[in-house]
Amino acid sequence: MSQGEPTVSQEVVATLPDGRPVTRWTIGSPDGPTAEVLDLGARLQALHVPDRHGRLANVVLGCDDVEDLLGEAAYLGASVGRYANRIADGLLSLDGTEHPLTTRPNGHTLHGGADGFATRLWAGVPVRQGRRAGVRLRLDSADGDQGFPGALSAVATYLLDPDGELRIDYLATTDAPTVVNLTNHAYLNLAGEGHGTVLDHLLRVDAQGYLPVDARLIPLGPVADVTGTPFDLREAAVIGERVAAEDPQVRLAGGGFDHNWVLDGVGFRRVAELSHPASGRRVECRTTEPGLQVYTGNHFDGSLTGRSGRRYGRHAGVALETQHFPDSPNRPDYPSTVLRPGEEYRSTTVYRFSAE
């Protein structure tokens, strides 16, 4: 798959309702893998990778319409935070003080609140590291933003190399104790964006446990063994077969996965692999994070139109969100997400694309 060294270009592609421009950064080499990143939400808007015959296709779900990106499509490809995933009842207790957070109609905080990082304009600059090229984006979040304590500075860096390896680094610092959990919320479809469902994809996750949820999709608490359940993905399995299982946890998530797997190992390591036999495309995921939220697009209903001009129906993509566990601030038995002054939050995830 190796091509010439990737270059970076930028262009204004839209305007927000308040008149501010939206910039798209294009990273890639001629006839090779190419990524497109928007400063709106520090968002991976597209990623073009070849199949086994060398034919390029965009494998990331995304929209062009700004109204969609500020609304129904806000999470597609976005950097979500200040806290990715759910915090029960919108309450954060930290050092003996309760901080009420902004919530969704169900009463819980999701992906950082009603106006989280996914709908913000980040400030971007091009970067290069050896054979990799990309963009570094920065966002400053004030003390009290969405109810979270502490002024937070967040940095998201996307780097692409000629071989189809996409690296995403997150860095954050704070001036007062807070919680941080950042992730990228890209939906993948290795057949190509807008080309049917991911039910024919194979998924493997290196995890012996997962977190069952209640009807609100809040973790019940203890880690459950995946053995004998549809969540046992230690060997690659067809997604469609697993989400069709008569399992109460699958039903609670709307007929699919919307759960956190408790990943094996620590440090930067391989944690998952997604493949599409028909095209030969495959992506291996490596991360420093302890958890992987797998969401199979259970609630896409055809109301969103993608960049291909096709509507996104149920299971149009699968999100592999590397992160800390949902509701960790309320679960002292989960890995801590607390960040204090003088510390740095760092997270690295690499998606390595190939074809066979």
1 domain residue, yes or no:
no
Provide the token pair at 342. Answer: 């003088």
Mean pLDDT of 243-263: 97
Task: Say which CATH number the domain at 188 has.
Answer: 2.70.98.10
pLDDT on residue 3? 63
Place of tokens 């309320």: 330
Per-residue model confidence as pLDDT tens digits over 65-99? 999 999 999 999 999 999 999 999 999 999 999 99
The reported pLDDT for the residue numbered 2 is 53
* Overall average pLDDT of the 190-202 stretch: 97
Burial class (CB in 10 A: 0-12, 13-18, 19+), 58: buried
Mean pLDDT of 108-115: 95
What rounded mean pLDDT belongs to the chain?
Answer: 96
**What are the structure tokens assigned to 186, written together?**
């890209």
When divided into structural domains, the chain yields a total of 1
Residue 43's contacts (CB-CB under 8 Å, 6 or more residues apart) are 37, 62, 69, 76, 77, 78, 79, 118
List the catalytic residue out of 99, 108, 321, 324.
321
**What confidence tier does 46 reach under pLDDT thresholds 50, 70, 90?**
very high
Distance CA 2, CA 231 (A): 35
Q: What is the pLDDT of residue 1?
A: 46
Instruction: Please give the residue range of the domain that contains residue 150.
Output: 7-355
| Per-residue pLDDT band at 174 (split at 50, 70, 90) | very high
Q: Is residue 2 part of a domain?
A: no
Residue 62 has pLDDT above 70, yes or no: yes
**Structure token pair of residue 14:** 């839209």
Q: Which of 90, 351, 327 is nearest to 219 (CA)?
A: 327
Q: What is the pLDDT of residue 57?
A: 97
Asked if 321 is an active-site residue, the reply is yes
From CA 131, how far away is CA 192, in angstroms rounded? Answer: 26
Among 180, 204, 214, CA closest to 261:
204
The residue type of 110 is L
Distance CA 193, CA 205 (A): 23
Confidence of residue 30 (pLDDT cuts 50, 70, 90): confident
Q: Catalytic pick from 99, 108, 111, 185?
A: 185
Percentage of the chain exceeding pLDDT 90: 96
C-alpha span between 356 and 281 (Å, rounded):
7
Residue 299 has pLDDT above 60, yes or no: yes
What strands lie across the sheet with 123-129, from one edge to the other?
123-129, 132-141, 152-160, 165-174, 345-355, 281-287, 269-275, 202-205, 237-238
Respond yes or no: is residue 11 known to be catalytic: no
For the segment 152-167, the average pLDDT, to the nearest whole number, is: 97
Distance separating alpha carbons of residues 190 and 256, to the nearest angstrom: 18
Do 45 and 69 form a contact (C-beta atoms < 8 A)?
A: no
